[in-house]
Amino acid sequence: MGVQEQEQLWGGETTKAVANFPVSGERVPVPVVRWLGRIKGAAARVNGELGLLDGEIAERIAAAGDEIAAGKHDGQFPVDVFQTGSGTSSNMNANEVIATLSGAHQNDHVNMGQSSNDVFPSAVHLAALDEATNDLLPALERLEAAFAAKAAAFEDIVKSGRTHLMDAVPVTLGQEFSGYAAQIRLGAKRVRNALPQVAQIPLGGTATGTGLNTHPEFAARVRGKLAESSGLEILPPEDPFEAQGNRDALVELSGALKVIAVSLTKIANDLALMGSGPRAGIGELFLPELQKGSSIMPGKVNPVIPEVVLQVSAQVIGNDTAITVGGLQGQFELNVRIPLIARNLLQSISLLANTSRLFAEKCVEGITANEAGCERSAESTLAVATALNPFIGYDKASEIVKEAASSGRTLREVALEKGVSEETYNEAIDLRRIARGSAA
């Protein structure tokens, strides 16, 4: 080992791949590289235990794989992410780096019992499983908790509801925030539901899923070692040919991420609109003031974090489209768009995790209610006349609303003029009771 990081550890196949794929300047995602190291290390130890590989060589390979897994050689993986669709170049890159570090043969020893066709997709699946489990889900839980805390804090603040962007019957600000918390909670549930499929890896299938040139116990033993070292539940494929021939589980996970992006878009738009103004807009929320909102207009504050959330959500939705197209490209025994899927899926996981933490910390946790603005909107919505329906009927309530709207007079004033008793009006138009769904 002892080779300095600045020295080139890769060999000729990696050099060819760098020359062949000068596409984006973007390398294979680091989590995939590190899982390649983990897989190679575990494979060497298993091959040693099975008596297929000399024990000393096996341990040198495993130690080199451990170093890659620990991030000590990230710079030794220069191949562009837009490369051969099986990820063969990256698997060879890993073989060459480990061979240099360990003094072993890159194919006969480092790649023993393996193929790019089962190793690279396994690394992608495990990277996605790891990042979703240990980064994204905790971030979503924090964001859900932030919305839930605000739902409790705002439970008695009544405001106008809105449907079709038009005034509707009152709701509480807390009810709206409880809806946001539920969207995030359900999004996390969708991710969790997809992960058992992602956890099924094709390792052991070698070239086409048949397991040619690998020991019958190899895959199960490697999965066991990987599960033990990572704390993740790593599963055998339901069918080896399904696992080798397509990347449906990654498409499924991406679909869950897209739903989260859709939810975040709705929430961020709502918060920006409720915070708009503050004087000439809706003005029901005060968003945290993080920075100047204009280089020319003094005192202007912009919804900068919701705007970040909206941009990230758009990127995640775009990534999902590319992943979907990539998932379509599995011909016969192998999907050959795996690097594309890996790049976009891991980017989406990272973007959503980082943005969820940011959204919670720099926006949601600092939101305060503009109680005067909420009260004003609650009292101004003519839709509260809906609560009069059980007392005076829909037609007469509509007549009162139209008169109030055209004249600019209050609903109360017009209703009393039209013969509704003050006692009936007060009983019907209790804003908090209306918001809680018990108007009649």
The C-alpha atoms of residue 395 and residue 205 are separated, in whole angstroms, by: 71
The answer to the question of whether 88 is labelled as a binding residue is yes
| Pair 67, 1: CB distance under 8 Å | yes
The answer to the question of whether 14 is labelled as a binding residue is no
| Pair 144, 187: CB distance under 8 Å | no
> What are the two backbone dihedrals, phi and then psi, of residue 66, each rounded to the nearest 5 degrees?
-65, -40
| Pair 187, 263: CB distance under 8 Å | yes
Neighbours of 215 (CB within 10 A): 17
| Pair 333, 119: CB distance under 8 Å | no
The C-alpha atoms of residue 357 and residue 63 are separated, in whole angstroms, by: 35
The full set of domains in the chain, from first to last, is 12-112 (1.10.275.10), 119-203+238-369 (1.20.200.10), 381-436 (1.10.40.30)
The answer to the question of whether 163 is labelled as a binding residue is yes
The answer to the question of whether 198 is labelled as a binding residue is no
Catalytic sites, residue numbers: 164, 294
The answer to the question of whether 46 is labelled as a binding residue is no
pLDDT tens for the chain, 440 residues: list them: 444 456 999 999 999 999 999 999 999 999 999 999 999 999 999 999 999 999 999 999 999 999 999 999 999 999 999 999 999 999 999 999 999 999 999 999 999 999 999 999 999 999 999 999 999 999 999 999 999 999 999 999 999 999 999 999 999 999 999 999 999 999 999 999 999 999 999 999 999 999 999 999 999 999 999 999 999 999 999 999 999 999 999 999 999 999 999 999 999 999 999 999 888 899 999 999 987 877 777 678 899 999 999 999 999 999 999 999 999 998 999 999 999 999 999 999 999 999 999 999 999 999 999 999 999 998 888 888 899 999 999 999 999 999 999 998 888 899 999 999 999 999 998 888 888 885 43
* Structure-token pair, residue 321: 């489209």
The C-alpha atoms of residue 11 and residue 97 are separated, in whole angstroms, by: 7
pLDDT recorded at residue 438 = 54
The answer to the question of whether 301 is labelled as a binding residue is yes
| Pair 93, 13: CB distance under 8 Å | yes
Return all residues near 386 (Cβ < 8 A) that are at least 6 apart.
Answer: 169, 397, 439
The answer to the question of whether 115 is labelled as a binding residue is yes
**What does the chain come to in residues?**
440
The C-alpha atoms of residue 365 and residue 81 are separated, in whole angstroms, by: 37
Nearest to 346 by CA among 10, 12, 28: 28
pTM: 0.94
Neighbours of 260 (CB within 10 A): 25
Torsion of Cα atoms, 318 then 319 then 325 then 326, to 10°: 170
| Pair 199, 234: CB distance under 8 Å | yes
The answer to the question of whether 87 is labelled as a binding residue is yes
The C-alpha atoms of residue 127 and residue 29 are separated, in whole angstroms, by: 9
